[in-house]
Amino acid sequence: MALPKIETRNVCKVYETVAGPMTAVDDFSLDVADNEFVCIVGPSGCGKSTYLRMLAGLDTHTSGTIQIRPGNDPKKPLNSVVFQEYAVFPWKTVIENVTFGLQMRGIGKEQRLETANYWLERVGLRKFANYYPYQISGGMKQRVSIIRALANDPEVLLMDEPLGALDAQTRIVLQDELLRIWEETHKTVVYITHSLDEAILLGDRVILMTAHPGRLLTTFHIDIKRPRTIETLNTPEFAELRGAIWEQLGKEVTRAMEMQA
């Protein structure tokens, strides 16, 4: 078997706070294969964002090992993050935001614009290329944030609740869009979400985390066949799997609570 693209072994994160040490992530191990779409679901505050930041190298871990294996092309960035808070730069236009990663890597202007225009076209933002973020809606901002990561063409894509703050309709539109983009690119993705349905729809694997401290509770393999679309939500296959997961989930949660008691 090929080596995993992402390798996380026994990772702990302890925040030193005034009130004493606070364990945010405890003994978390996760391997992600190349071209795999892994979803992480867990209650608020369980350390999902913390894990993603450590994965991205934006935060240190207290113990354990984290590794993202570089690919064949050494110029490709290892990872790009879609942040929970969008983090679209208000002082840059839409297109400047999308080309930001490429610009930082010293890629020529012509190629930058070509890539950016492709992605803007892709998500229907071509007309808004020269708008500033304050001039576009929240859904558009999140689209900008997503294609900023995609345009950067990283080895792995790390997405932190990218659709969390959106209304139901926009969410569905973007879920569909994400599915289509993934079918084309087959990127390795770690995708954090609150919604189990979204995780089942998008992921090859769904990881459930417990709260306080964040531990790995259980893993589900989602073998609904690809390509999936938003219609997949209405298939009997989806409903069946979803029911099975909820059933098992109930047991797992009860067991976890008993263990803590």
Give the residues lining the site for another protein (CB under 8 A). 53, 56, 58, 77, 79-81, 83, 85, 87, 89-93, 100-101, 104-105, 132-134, 148, 152
Tokens representing 6 are: 């992402």
- Decide: is 48 part of the binding site for ligand ATP (CB under 6 A): yes
Any alpha helices (H) in 36-164, and if so which ranges?
Answer: 48-55, 94-98, 100-104, 109-122, 138-151
Number of H helices, E strands in the chain: 8, 9
**Residue 205 near which of Mg ion, another protein, ligand ATP, none (CB within 5-8 Å, type-dependent):** none
Q: How far is the CB of 130 from Mg ion (least distance, A)?
A: 31
Mutual angle of helices 138-151 and 109-122, in 10-degree steps: 130
Query: In this complex, which beta carbon is closest to another protein, that of residue 60 or of residue 260?
Result: 60
**Residue 90 near which of another protein, ligand ATP, Mg ion, none (CB within 5-8 Å, type-dependent):** another protein
- Decide: is 46 part of the binding site for ligand ATP (CB under 6 A): yes
- Decide: is 47 part of the binding site for ligand ATP (CB under 6 A): yes
> Residue 55: phi, psi to the nearest 5?
-60, -40
From 14-22, 48-56, 207-215, 222-230, span contacting Mg ion (CB under 5 A): 48-56
- Decide: is 44 part of the binding site for ligand ATP (CB under 6 A): yes
Mutual angle of helices 138-151 and 168-185, in 10-degree steps: 10
Closest C-alpha among 227, 235, 233 to residue 181: 227
Query: In this complex, which beta carbon is closest to ligand ATP, that of residue 50 or of residue 99?
Result: 50
Provide the 10 A C-beta neighbour count for residue 72. Answer: 6
Site track for ligand ATP across 2-31, x = CB under 6 A: -------------x-x----x-x-------
CA–CA distance, 94 with 130 (Å, rounded to integer): 6
From 53-61, 83-91, 146-154, 201-209, span contacting Mg ion (CB under 5 A): 83-91
Q: How far is the CB of 201 from another protein (least distance, A)?
A: 26
**Can you give 5-21 as a three-state secondary structure string?**
CEEEEEEEEEEEECCEE
Query: Which amino acid, one-letter code, is at 241?
Result: L
Site residues, ligand ATP (CB under 6 A): 15, 17, 22, 24, 42, 44-50, 84
